């Protein structure tokens, strides 16, 4: 190139407005993201790999390259940033999950989800804390206080809903998906309460009232977060329906949906609620009302752009975790021998395995005893998959671990660093090993083929019953609903909800069938059910 020889002074010095390190980091990340998308596409048919594992490996590899290039010095590009994760990466993922979730399936299993998410997390938290307390002294980690042990319990009880989304398929195993993912969302609220309590409770005066207070906090957090999400969702539906945005531009509708969804998360965080619960329910309400009030183009756009943003955020997180695994400062600080590291990590992994087994199987069997109909019971192989699919730990665990141990007040910085590196090993191991085995495991126990049929036929029976109920409702409504409520509680509640929805909610907030379809607009080809 001749021009490059003629390059005058203006371009020689770096006179750009932007700092070079930021640009280099962004370039690297976006190039890696593109690679992940392409490699993930090529590996689509491979049943052992998935996008998160690809991203983890690519992150690890590039982390190694960066370390080699910078000669084991610069690790600034790799440091995990909690703000980035909680403010920008997590909200789109959870919102999209709520937006695309099969609502019928989700609410049908609501009781089971709550049991797993609340009771299960508490059991797991207690067991892991106790295990850490008893076992760590044996390995030689003596500098951790009771707060740290309890924090470990809370950190390791936070399941990774992001990874679950990638491993389980909503279409192939709808029942398992709704249970495991729903549990993950509720689990988040529980973890927040537990983690915050651990950090701020005064442990000199623990009594029955403290436990009651914790329960009260959880109820408060759960109800207010959910209510906030529902209110913001309904508000968006009302505004879009009343002002009829589509008249002028489809972009304004899409923008308003995005902005209000994100706003709900931010308000929840501002009020110290669970932003994840809020944005999840906001997504559900938006897909039920708001989505039906917008033009056909907006429907297609929102459906796919929310999914795309969520997909990019997920890939970004795993890349990030992969690169972060080589946080060389922490590895240097911990000074632990390989033996100690392996011992601590495998202890943590065993505790996670036991802690989850200790609540999945008992709770599932208790739930089975309560249920009357054979088809809704959770059979053993499903229980096994629920146990297995919830073993993965991801970015939430790492973020919480940094939060606890990078500014811990305990004397030894070495043990704190060891905890962080062990958490990283746990996350890598669980994502790669548990994650890659889940798909083949589901195929092996043949849930893929048997479960949808059962679930489908159940749905059909219920739908028939619903029709029957509605046609006879004028004649002997009181008797039939009472007896139905006793025998088929979920169906009856659903039926009441439908009536309420059609009579009061949809006329105000819009929804399927309650918004006139403009003749020019082409509807999205497959509806969100």
Place of tokens 């931010």: 266
Q: How far is the CB of 137 from a copy of itself (least distance, A)?
A: 28
Q: How far is the CB of 193 from a copy of itself (least distance, A)?
A: 6
User: Out of 59, 74, 82, 406, which residue is the one contacting a copy of itself (CB under 8 A)?
Assistant: 82
Instruction: Round to whole Å and give the CA distance between 461 and 31.
Output: 50
Q: How far is the CB of 410 from a copy of itself (least distance, A)?
A: 18
User: Out of 72, 220, 497, 500, which residue is the one contacting a copy of itself (CB under 8 A)?
Assistant: 220
Q: Which stretch binds a copy of itself (CB under 8 A): 137-145, 177-185, 192-200, 471-479?
A: 192-200
Alpha helices (H) in 430-505, listed in sequence order = 435-444, 447-487, 489-500
- Residue closer to a copy of itself (CB basis): 34 or 411: 34
Instruction: Round to whole Å and give the CA distance between 32 and 320.
Output: 10
Helix axis angle, 146-157 relative to 338-370, nearest 10°? 60
Closest by alpha carbon to 310, among 100, 103, 113?
Answer: 100
Residues of span 87-106 touching a copy of itself by CB under 8 A? 87
DSSP SS3 for 140: coil
Q: Which stretch binds a copy of itself (CB under 8 A): 30-38, 422-430, 465-473, 489-497?
A: 30-38
- Residue closer to a copy of itself (CB basis): 457 or 522: 522
- Residue closer to a copy of itself (CB basis): 141 or 321: 321
Q: How far is the CB of 372 from a copy of itself (least distance, A)?
A: 34
In this structure, are residues 434 and 391 in contact, taking their beta carbons and an 8 Å threshold? yes
Closest by alpha carbon to 397, among 114, 59, 163?
Answer: 163
> Which distant-in-sequence residues (6+ apart) come within 8 Å of 439 by Cβ?
47, 48, 50, 167
Instruction: Round to whole Å and give the CA distance between 192 and 198.
Output: 10
Q: How far is the CB of 465 from a copy of itself (least distance, A)?
A: 33
Q: Which token pair is 489?
A: 């509680």
Instruction: Round to whole Å and give the CA distance between 336 and 347.
Output: 15
User: Out of 30, 72, 203, 500, which residue is the one contacting a copy of itself (CB under 8 A)?
Assistant: 30
Confirm or reject binding of residue 308 to a copy of itself (CB under 8 A): yes
Binding map of a copy of itself across residues 229-268, x = CB under 8 A, - = no contact: ----------x---x-x--x-xxx-xxx-xxx-xx--xx-
Confirm or reject binding of residue 193 to a copy of itself (CB under 8 A): yes
User: Out of 68, 71, 73, 83, which residue is the one contacting a copy of itself (CB under 8 A)?
Assistant: 83
In this structure, are residues 356 and 388 in contact, taking their beta carbons and an 8 Å threshold? no
Confirm or reject binding of residue 70 to a copy of itself (CB under 8 A): no
Q: How far is the CB of 393 from a copy of itself (least distance, A)?
A: 17
Place of tokens 């192939």: 172
First to last CA, the chain: 58
Confirm or reject binding of residue 223 to a copy of itself (CB under 8 A): yes
In this structure, are residues 168 and 180 in contact, taking their beta carbons and an 8 Å threshold? yes
Closest by alpha carbon to 302, among 247, 264, 246?
Answer: 246
Please compute, for residue 63, the number of CA atoms within 13 A of its CA located in the half-sphere on the CB side: 22
Cβ neighbours, 10 Å, residue 246: 19
Residues of span 268-307 touching a copy of itself by CB under 8 A? 269-270, 272, 297-298, 300-301, 304-305, 307
Binding map of a copy of itself across residues 386-425, x = CB under 8 A, - = no contact: -------------xx--x----------------------
Confirm or reject binding of residue 46 to a copy of itself (CB under 8 A): no
Report how many residues bind a copy of itself under the rule CB under 8 A.
91
Confirm or reject binding of residue 15 to a copy of itself (CB under 8 A): yes
Positive or negative: CA dihedral 90, 397, 318, 110: negative
Transcribe 1-13 into DSSP letters. Answer: --HHHH--HHHHS
- Residue closer to a copy of itself (CB basis): 199 or 460: 199
Q: How far is the CB of 224 from a copy of itself (least distance, A)?
A: 8
Binding map of a copy of itself across residues 137-176, x = CB under 8 A, - = no contact: ----------------------------------------
- Residue closer to a copy of itself (CB basis): 251 or 463: 251
Q: How far is the CB of 260 from a copy of itself (least distance, A)?
A: 6
- Residue closer to a copy of itself (CB basis): 21 or 412: 21
Closest by alpha carbon to 156, among 391, 408, 450, 329?
Answer: 391
Closest by alpha carbon to 415, among 348, 335, 338?
Answer: 335
Confirm or reject binding of residue 206 to a copy of itself (CB under 8 A): no
Confirm or reject binding of residue 79 to a copy of itself (CB under 8 A): no
């Amino acid at each position: 190139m001749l021009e490059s020889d003629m390059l005058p002074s203006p371009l020689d010095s770096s006179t750009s407005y932007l700092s070079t390190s930021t640009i280099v980091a962004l370039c690297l990340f976006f190039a890696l993201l593109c690679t992940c998308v392409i490699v993930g596409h090529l590996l689509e048919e491979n049943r052992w790999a998935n996008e998160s594992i690809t991203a983890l490996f690519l992150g690890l590899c590039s982390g190694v390259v960066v370390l080699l290039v910078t000669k084991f010095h610069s690790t600034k590009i790799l440091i995990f940033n909690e703000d980035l994760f909680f403010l920008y990466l997590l909200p789109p993922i959870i919102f999209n999950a709520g937006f695309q979730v099969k609502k019928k399936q989700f609410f049908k299993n609501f009781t089971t989800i709550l049991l797993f998410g609340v009771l299960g997390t508490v059991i797991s938290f207690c067991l892991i804390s106790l295990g850490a307390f008893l076992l760590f002294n044996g390995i030689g980690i003596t500098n951790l206080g009771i707060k740290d042990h309890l924090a470990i319990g809370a950190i390791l009880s936070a399941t990774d809903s992001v990874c679950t989304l990638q491993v389980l398929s909503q279409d192939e195993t709808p029942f398992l998906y709704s249970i495991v993912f729903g549990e993950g969302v509720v689990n988040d609220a529980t973890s927040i309460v537990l983690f915050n309590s651990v950090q701020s409770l005064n442990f000199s005066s623990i009594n029955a009232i403290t436990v009651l207070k914790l329960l009260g906090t959880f109820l408060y957090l759960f109800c207010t977060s959910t209510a906030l999400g529902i209110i913001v969702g309904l508000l968006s539906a009302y505004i879009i329906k009343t002002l009829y945005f589509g008249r002028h531009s489809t972009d304004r509708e899409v923008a308003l949906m995005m902005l209000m969804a994100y706003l709900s998360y931010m308000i929840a965080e501002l009020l110290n609620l669970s932003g994840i619960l809020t944005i999840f329910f906001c997504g559900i309400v938006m897909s039920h009302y708001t989505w039906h009030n917008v033009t056909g183009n907006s429907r297609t756009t929102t459906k796919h752009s929310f999914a795309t943003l969520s997909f990019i955020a997920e890939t970004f997180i795993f890349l990030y975790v992969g690169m972060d695994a080589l946080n060389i400062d922490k590895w240097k600080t911990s000074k632990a021998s390989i033996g100690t590291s392996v011992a601590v990590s495998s202890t943590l992994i065993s505790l996670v395995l036991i802690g989850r087994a200790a609540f999945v199987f008992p709770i599932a069997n208790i739930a089975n005893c309560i249920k009357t109909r054979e088809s809704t019971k959770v059979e053993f192989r499903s229980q096994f998959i629920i146990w297995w699919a919830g073993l993965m730990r991801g970015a939430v665990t790492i973020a919480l671990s940094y939060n606890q141990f990078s500014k811990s007040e305990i004397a030894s910085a070495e043990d704190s660093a060891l905890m962080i590196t062990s958490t990283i090993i746990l996350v890598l191991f669980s994502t790669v090993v548990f994650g890659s085995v889940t798909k083949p495991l589901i195929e092996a126990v043949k849930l893929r083929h048997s479960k949808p049929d059962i679930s489908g036929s159940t749905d059909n029976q219920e739908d028939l019953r619903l029709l029957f109920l509605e046609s006879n409702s004028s004649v002997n409504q009181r008797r039939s609903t009472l007896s139905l409520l006793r025998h088929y509680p979920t169906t009856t509640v659903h039926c009441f909800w439908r009536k309420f929805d059609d009579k009061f909610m949809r006329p105000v907030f819009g929804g399927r069938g309650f918004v006139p379809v403009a003749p020019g607009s082409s509807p999205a080809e497959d509806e969100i059910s």
